[in-house]
Amino acid sequence: MRIGMGYDVHKLVEGRKLIIGGVDIPYEKGLLGHSDADVLLHAIMDALLGAAGLDDIGKHFPDTDERYRGVSSLKLLANVGHLLKENGFEIGNIDATVIAQRPKMRPYIDTMRQNVARVLEISVEDINIKATTEEGLGFTGEELGISAQAICLLK
């Protein structure tokens, strides 16, 4: 068994969609990034790749590669899932946290879990996603950005 940890952060800006966990969340700002900037899926991918010893998403999907401009992170997650299978790994579980002052994530968490389970072809019961604020502190508390952390177990 192997454990992996992932972290991602993106700046909130006007003129972008807010996509977290593959869910388009209605909000006045979105996350800035080369792809869709889905912090949750990026943290999950880095946890999975790290546990498998397969580097990180920057190596597999560099932001200098135009093929990944605006790409859905669900597609990138599917690629990571295939890499894990090719290397003989099975996902035991994933636990992740989204850190954002606003908007509230609770209404979207079940759909996020379903998206991750569907793409990785695992049971939704093997995925836990939570959300928290930072009580107005730091860049997430001041609504300058959103971050996510993830940990996983691979067999």
Tell me the CATH number at 41.
Answer: 3.30.1330.50
- Any binding-site annotation on 56? yes
Those residues whose C-beta lies under 8 Å from the C-beta of residue 67, and which sit 6 or more positions away, are none
The CA distance from 102 to 26, in Å, is 11
- Give the pair of three-digit tokens for residue 36: 């869709």
- Any binding-site annotation on 57? yes
Domain count, the chain: 1
- Any binding-site annotation on 143? no
- Any binding-site annotation on 58? yes
Provide the 10 A C-beta neighbour count for residue 32: 14
| Residues 31 and 18: beta-carbon distance below 8 Å | yes
- Any binding-site annotation on 110? no
Task: Give residue 103's pLDDT band: very low, low, confident or very high (50, 70, 90).
Answer: very high
- Give the pair of three-digit tokens for residue 91: 């996902």
Question: 25-34, 65-74, 113-122 — which is least confidently predicted?
Answer: 65-74
Mean pLDDT (the chain) is: 96
- Any binding-site annotation on 140? no
- Any binding-site annotation on 10? yes
pLDDT tens, position by position, 27-44: 999 999 999 999 999 999
Residue among 60, 75, 120 nearest 96 (CA): 120
Q: Which domain holds residue 70?
A: 2-154
> For 2, phi and psi rounded to 5 degrees?
-135, 145
- Any binding-site annotation on 82? no
- Any binding-site annotation on 145? no
- Any binding-site annotation on 38? no
Q: Which pLDDT value is given to residue 95?
A: 98
- Any binding-site annotation on 61? yes
The CA distance from 131 to 92, in Å, is 21
